[in-house]
Amino acid sequence: MRRMTHPSPARRARFALAGFIAAVLVAAGCTLPTFAPRVEVEGEASVAPLGASPQWRSCPETAEQVAGRAAPGMRYECARIAVPQRWNTTGGPATATPGGGATFEIALLRARSTKQRDRIGSLLVNPGGPGGSGVDTAVYLSLGEQFGGLPASVTERFDIVGFDPRGVARSSPVECISDTDLDASFGYDPDPESTAAFDGLVALNQRIGQACGAKYGDRLSLFGTEQAALDMDAVRAAVGDEKLTYLGYSYGTLLGAVYAQRFPERVRALVLDGAIDPRQNAVEASEGQAKGFERAFGNFVRWCSANADRCPLAPDARAAVTSAVDKARVSPVRGADGREATAGWVFYAVISSLYTEQGWQELARAVDQLAEGDPAGVFRLADAYAGRNPDGTYTNLFDANLAVNCADDEERPSLERIRQLQGQWRRAYPLFGPALAVGLLTCAKWPAEPDPYPTGKADGAPPILVVGTTGDPATPYEQTPALAAMLGVGRVLTWEGEGHTAYPQTTCVTEAVDAYLIDLTVPAEGLRCPAR
């Protein structure tokens, strides 16, 4: 079972992709991929040593590989920089480990409008995960408002710069989980009740951990959030900005928060959308997400009842979805290619659809079609979440997700504690609680020591904009004021909407965030934007 959104240290939630990308994926008729696989390109840029200026090269082909098109009026450039595998974090500003040592490569993409005027600098972006590609996200955000990207008011003032964090996609990627094990993991019963089923999931997670440990050993501890946040300062320097302007979604809010603590004097403006409370431990974060997904699912059920013309599961969508999962446990529907829609795949289709309100109708249609013997819709939703390609291969999204989560995770509950939580949360959060509990198994037997990140105030930083969505399933809204309070300089912007993350989805949210990014105008205290 996965935990996504943010790392999952003893302080994170378990599921989540950035809302922007999730919305792109499940919107009707959309064919954009979640995270494009790394593609080696003829003439790929050489790697700039630490502190040296990167060598940018034109790379419109990257935009075409990621999104199927390059945006008109946008120039795309790519570069690669080297960062120390381990930064020295003992006292004062972070520095490279004395004597140099081994490095990671960090891939960058810069999208620059041909209409750019009065340039402010670079807007660094990260989509979350952990494991999401910032290079891909910069491409998506550059496509313009008609495709859910950034408004021209922002793209005409900033270069949009995406980076793949260490271990992710094009940046020295972590690759240690076989496609077979990923299929087994996603397809596994989300609530293994019997001792044999639970022990089987424990064994699967142990096998995955052993494979990663055999390949990387102690280096697994190098992929934690603090080290990646320190890489962000190297990116800031590489693009020539004196101070950082940053847009981080979901887990990306944790990267931004850690950066602000380490380099408060180097912050220009940070937008942290889909906020995580970094002080939560693993159990607290998982239970919070169980609540969040149950709340979002309840909203879907009510929508279905009120919109029977668009929801074939009416009048009782909860019963229909629960029945679909239960039936898949004993008699999974087989697709045309022979693949079985087990309870795990049906469950992840539900998870995927709740990241955006547009996904609700897609879920209703998929579950209805499953009842008629067609699992294609279920697989389409679940595969988008999992990063599973049509040929059965996977991106390294979850390899990186696991490496980051477990590097961050200080507190790793015992198997006995996880089993206890599974039963407790089954009663409290019937559809999502057991899965969130057994998701804690992923780091329970991880073979490397953790490398926890700091938590605390960003003393000396300017106001930081923390954005939360009241119906967010993956980073429940309660974490938004908590993160703002922890930083000490956070200003909360609330969207009374559905789905994971808010910007740029409505005029109210977009205007508030744009004014902050461009003019450093902080929204009024307590500003709440309506759903529509």
Q: Are residues 410 and 435 in the same domain?
A: yes
In a domain, 326, yes or no: yes
Report the pLDDT value the prediction gives residue 50, as an integer from 0 to 100.
Answer: 76
First to last CA, the chain: 34
Q: Are residues 359 and 382 in the same domain?
A: yes
Determine phi and psi for 161, rounding to 5 degrees.
-115, 120
Q: Are residues 486 and 429 in the same domain?
A: no
In a domain, 26, yes or no: no
In a domain, 45, yes or no: no
- Give, in order, the Cα–Cα distances in Å from 507 to each of 173, 496, 502, 530: 37, 13, 11, 10
In a domain, 231, yes or no: no
Q: Are residues 87 and 105 in the same domain?
A: yes
Q: Where among 432, 452, 472 does a domain terminate?
A: 452
Pairing relationship of beta strands 57-58 and 87-88 according to DSSP bridges: unpaired
Q: Are residues 439 and 519 in the same domain?
A: no
In a domain, 91, yes or no: yes
Q: Where among 420, 452, 484 does a domain terminate?
A: 452
**Which of 284, 289, 287 has the alpha carbon at shortest distance from 250?**
289
Determine phi and psi for 106, rounding to 5 degrees.
-115, 120
Catalytic: which of 8, 113, 250, 286? 250
Catalytic: which of 172, 383, 500, 514? 500
Q: Are residues 154 and 142 in the same domain?
A: yes
Is 500 considered catalytic here?
A: yes
Report how far residue 364's alpha carbon sits from residue 320's, in angstroms, rounded to the nearest whole number.
9
Is 6 considered catalytic here?
A: no
Tens digit of pLDDT at every position of the chain (532 positions) = 334 443 222 222 233 333 434 333 333 222 223 333 344 443 456 787 777 789 999 999 999 999 998 999 999 999 999 999 999 887 666 766 655 689 999 999 999 999 999 999 999 999 999 999 999 999 999 999 988 899 999 999 999 999 999 999 999 999 999 999 999 999 999 999 999 999 999 999 999 999 999 999 999 999 999 999 999 999 999 999 999 999 999 999 999 999 999 999 999 999 999 999 999 998 999 999 999 999 999 999 999 999 999 999 999 999 999 999 999 999 999 999 999 999 999 999 999 999 999 999 999 999 999 999 999 999 999 999 999 999 999 999 999 999 999 999 888 999 999 999 999 999 999 999 999 999 999 999 899 999 999 999 999 999 999 999 999 999 999 999 999 999 999 999 999 999 999 999 999 999 999 999 999 999 999 999 999 8
Report the pLDDT value the prediction gives residue 510, as an integer from 0 to 100.
Answer: 97
Report how far residue 367's alpha carbon sits from residue 371's, in angstroms, rounded to the nearest whole number.
6
- Give, in order, the Cα–Cα distances in Å from 421 to each of 205, 287, 413: 18, 9, 10
Look up residue 469 and give its DSSP letter. Answer: E
Is 250 considered catalytic here?
A: yes
Q: How many domains does the chain have?
A: 2
Q: Are residues 188 and 118 in the same domain?
A: no
Catalytic: which of 231, 241, 383, 472? 472
Q: Are residues 128 and 252 in the same domain?
A: yes
Helices and strands counted in the chain (H then E): 19, 15
Report the pLDDT value the prediction gives residue 23, as an integer from 0 to 100.
Answer: 38
249: containing domain:
57-173+239-278+455-529
In a domain, 420, yes or no: yes
Q: Are residues 154 and 249 in the same domain?
A: yes
Q: Are residues 260 and 343 in the same domain?
A: no
- Exposed/middle/buried for 260, CB within 10 Å: 0-12, 13-18, 19+? buried
In a domain, 152, yes or no: yes
Report how far residue 457's alpha carbon sits from residue 262's, in angstroms, rounded to the nearest whole number.
10
Contacting residues for 163 by C-beta, under 8 A, at least 6 apart = 106, 107, 108, 109, 124, 126, 134, 135, 171, 231, 232, 235
Q: Where among 408, 426, 452 does a domain terminate?
A: 452
Question: Residue 93 belongs to a domain with what CATH number?
Answer: 3.40.50.1820
Determine phi and psi for 314, rounding to 5 degrees.
-65, 150
Q: What's the half-sphere exposure (Cβ side, CA atoms, 13 Å) at 332?
A: 20
Helix (H) or strand (E) holding 78: strand 74-84
Report the pLDDT value the prediction gives residue 51, as an integer from 0 to 100.
Answer: 74
Structure token pair of residue 447: 């073979």
Q: Are residues 167 and 179 in the same domain?
A: no
Report the pLDDT value the prediction gives residue 91, as an integer from 0 to 100.
Answer: 65
In a domain, 52, yes or no: no
Q: Are residues 199 and 348 in the same domain?
A: yes
